[in-house]
Amino acid sequence: MEGEKGVITNAFGGFGLVRRLAEMGLTPGVEIRLLRKCPFRGPLQIEVRGSVLALGYGVASKVFVKPLKAEPNG
Protein backbone atom coordinates (compact mmCIF):
# COMPACT_ATOMS: atom_id res chain seq x y z
CA MET A 1 0.00 0.00 0.00
CA GLU A 2 1.28 3.46 -0.83
CA GLY A 3 3.21 5.16 1.96
CA GLU A 4 4.17 1.90 3.68
CA LYS A 5 7.75 1.28 4.72
CA GLY A 6 9.74 -1.92 4.72
CA VAL A 7 13.24 -3.36 4.90
CA ILE A 8 14.79 -5.30 2.03
CA THR A 9 15.53 -8.86 3.11
CA ASN A 10 16.84 -10.37 -0.12
CA ALA A 11 16.97 -10.04 -3.90
CA PHE A 12 16.81 -13.06 -6.18
CA GLY A 13 17.97 -13.20 -9.77
CA GLY A 14 21.04 -13.42 -11.88
CA PHE A 15 24.33 -11.80 -10.98
CA GLY A 16 23.67 -8.86 -13.33
CA LEU A 17 20.30 -8.07 -11.80
CA VAL A 18 21.51 -8.33 -8.21
CA ARG A 19 24.50 -6.12 -9.04
CA ARG A 20 22.27 -3.55 -10.76
CA LEU A 21 19.96 -3.43 -7.74
CA ALA A 22 22.97 -2.98 -5.43
CA GLU A 23 24.22 -0.10 -7.58
CA MET A 24 20.83 1.58 -7.10
CA GLY A 25 21.17 1.14 -3.32
CA LEU A 26 18.76 -1.77 -3.01
CA THR A 27 20.71 -4.05 -0.69
CA PRO A 28 19.57 -6.23 2.23
CA GLY A 29 18.87 -4.24 5.39
CA VAL A 30 17.97 -1.00 3.61
CA GLU A 31 14.69 0.72 4.47
CA ILE A 32 12.43 1.68 1.56
CA ARG A 33 9.07 3.44 1.22
CA LEU A 34 6.49 2.74 -1.47
CA LEU A 35 5.44 6.01 -3.09
CA ARG A 36 3.27 4.85 -5.96
CA LYS A 37 2.06 1.53 -7.32
CA CYS A 38 0.65 1.50 -10.84
CA PRO A 39 -2.23 -0.85 -11.61
CA PHE A 40 -2.07 -3.90 -13.88
CA ARG A 41 1.52 -4.95 -13.11
CA GLY A 42 2.87 -1.50 -13.85
CA PRO A 43 6.03 0.01 -12.38
CA LEU A 44 6.52 0.88 -8.72
CA GLN A 45 7.93 4.15 -7.46
CA ILE A 46 9.96 3.83 -4.25
CA GLU A 47 12.12 6.01 -2.05
CA VAL A 48 15.45 4.55 -0.92
CA ARG A 49 18.35 6.36 0.77
CA GLY A 50 16.83 9.75 -0.10
CA SER A 51 16.42 8.94 -3.81
CA VAL A 52 13.28 8.14 -5.76
CA LEU A 53 13.43 5.12 -8.08
CA ALA A 54 11.02 3.47 -10.47
CA LEU A 55 11.19 -0.31 -10.81
CA GLY A 56 9.39 -2.38 -13.41
CA TYR A 57 7.09 -5.09 -12.12
CA GLY A 58 9.43 -7.91 -13.17
CA VAL A 59 12.42 -6.44 -11.32
CA ALA A 60 10.37 -5.45 -8.27
CA SER A 61 8.96 -8.98 -7.98
CA LYS A 62 12.50 -10.28 -7.35
CA VAL A 63 13.07 -7.98 -4.35
CA PHE A 64 11.68 -9.30 -1.06
CA VAL A 65 10.69 -6.76 1.58
CA LYS A 66 9.73 -7.22 5.23
CA PRO A 67 7.02 -4.66 6.10
CA LEU A 68 7.67 -2.32 9.02
CA LYS A 69 4.90 -1.75 11.53
CA ALA A 70 3.28 1.66 11.38
CA GLU A 71 4.28 3.99 14.18
CA PRO A 72 1.39 5.05 16.42
CA ASN A 73 0.40 8.67 15.92
CA GLY A 74 -0.26 9.90 19.27
Average pLDDT of adjacent 10-residue blocks, the chain of 74 residues: 90 92 93 92 92 93 89 60
Domains of the chain: 5-67 (2.30.30.90)
What gap in Å lies between CA 40 and CA 55, rounded to an integer? 14
For residue 39, what pLDDT is reported?
Answer: 86
What pLDDT is recorded for position 69?
81
CA distance 19 to 23: 6
For residues 67 and 6, give the distance between their C-alpha atoms in angstroms, rounded to a whole number: 4
What is the strand order of the sheet 5-11 is part of? 51-55, 44-48, 31-37, 5-11, 63-67
At 17 the pLDDT is: 92
Tell me the whole-structure pTM to 2 decimals: 0.82
